[in-house]
């Protein structure tokens, strides 16, 4: 029986690469995002494309109802959509902080609520939440983004215990630095909110770091994360967490063993060396 998968944020980056990988692996793939025009290539590759805006409840309900009507089952939900809202906490309007949570946390949680009945009915399923190494470590000027990723880490641990009795797995995937549209969006927000404030010097340095990181050899292509997700879906007992690509394991190792202030110093050194080169 062909397994059905829903992946959000499939119009670019990790989501697009994962949709391509899973359709090649033989899954029936539903790929969702706001920019349908950006998913015509996926359609041509045999992926089912759905419109989805995670800030719009009706759109989330519609996406899940479409799958329920067409297939009556969902084997895996891959919550991948998200963006990085950067800028100094003092500068970013709370309205934008709320929007960041709406997309990265509440939209993800709403999809889980709506997909769980389909999984419980068959006493099987896998929920993959794409967080980030940013769900465990910190950097300046990324407080709203990191807050959402820390939130999804905790939410996923609670959920794993709740749904295990129904035969449903919850997997957290923590990418490191991955070459996608993510960093351009984060950089644009950072400079928009803090490029002309008391934080301008920090913001410009951090923006140079993000730009330089994009071309660094440490950054991995999104196919690396797609491969990790495919492996987690194949596993009969998946790990609870997979750190993958772009220095993820090294950075999480340092975060685990360094004190808070020693890690602050490490992040400042990385920022300085990359920003200098950028």
Q: Which residues are catalytic?
A: 145
**Looking at beta carbons only, is 29 or 130 nearer to ligand NAP?**
130
Q: Are strands 48-51 and 76-79 parallel, antiparallel or unpaired?
A: unpaired
In DSSP terms, 78 is beta-bridged to 7, 128
Distance CA 169, CA 157 (A): 11
Q: How far is the CB of 147 from ligand NAP (least distance, A)?
A: 12
Helix (H) or strand (E) holding 273: helix 260-277
Q: How far is the CB of 171 from ligand NAP (least distance, A)?
A: 14
Q: How far is the CB of 33 from ligand NAP (least distance, A)?
A: 4
**Looking at beta carbons only, is 12 or 202 nearer to ligand NAP?**
12
**Looking at beta carbons only, is 81 or 168 nearer to ligand NAP?**
81
Helix (H) or strand (E) holding 34: none
Q: How far is the CB of 154 from ligand NAP (least distance, A)?
A: 16
Distance CA 25, CA 233 (A): 11
Q: How far is the CB of 184 from ligand NAP (least distance, A)?
A: 8
The residues that touch ligand NAP, with contacts defined as CB under 6 A, are 8-15, 33-35, 38, 52-55, 80-83, 103, 130, 132, 175, 177-178, 180-182, 185, 222
**Looking at beta carbons only, is 24 or 218 nearer to ligand NAP?**
218
DSSP character string of 184-247: HHHHHHHHHHHTTSTTHHHHHHHHHHHHHHHHSTTPBPHHHHHHHHHHHHH-SS--SEEEESTT
C-alpha 6 chain-centroid distance: 14
Please say whether the dihedral angle defined by the alpha carbons of residues 152, 154, 157 and 163, taken in this order, is positive or negative.
negative
**Looking at beta carbons only, is 83 or 101 nearer to ligand NAP?**
83
């Amino acid at each position: 029986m062909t397994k059905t998968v829903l992946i959000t944020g499939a119009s670019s980056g990790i989501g697009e690469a994962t949709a391509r990988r899973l359709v090649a692996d033989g899954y029936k793939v539903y790929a969702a995002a706001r920019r349908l025009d950006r998913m015509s290539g996926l359609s041509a590759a045999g992926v089912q494309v759905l419109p989805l805006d995670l800030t719009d409840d009706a759109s989330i309900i519609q996406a899940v109802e479409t799958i329920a009507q067409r297939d009556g089952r969902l084997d895996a939900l891959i919550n991948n959509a998200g963006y990085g809202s950067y800028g100094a906490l003092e500068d970013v309007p709370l309205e934008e902080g709320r929007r960041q949570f709406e997309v990265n946390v509440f939209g993800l949680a709403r999809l889980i609520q709506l997909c769980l009945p389909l999984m419980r009915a068959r006493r099987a399923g896998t929920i993959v939440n794409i967080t980030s190494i940013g769900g465990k470590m910190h950097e300046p000027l990324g407080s709203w983004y990191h807050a959402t990723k820390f939130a999804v880490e905790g939410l996923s641990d609670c959920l794993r215990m709740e749904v295990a009795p129904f035969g449903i797995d919850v997997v957290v995937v923590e990418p490191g630095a991955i070459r996608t549209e993510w960093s351009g969006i984060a950089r644009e927000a950072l400079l928009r909110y803090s490029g002309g404030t008391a934080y301008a010097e920090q913001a410009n340095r951090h923006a140079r770091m993000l730009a330089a990181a994009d071309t660094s050899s440490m950054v991995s292509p999104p196919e690396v994360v797609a491969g990790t997700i495919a492996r987690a879906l194949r596993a009969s007992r998946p790990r609870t967490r997979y750190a993958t690509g772009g220095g993820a394991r090294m950075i999480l190792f340092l975060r685990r063993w360094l004190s808070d202030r020693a890690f602050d110093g490490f992040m400042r050194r990385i920022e300085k060396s990359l920003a200098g080169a950028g």
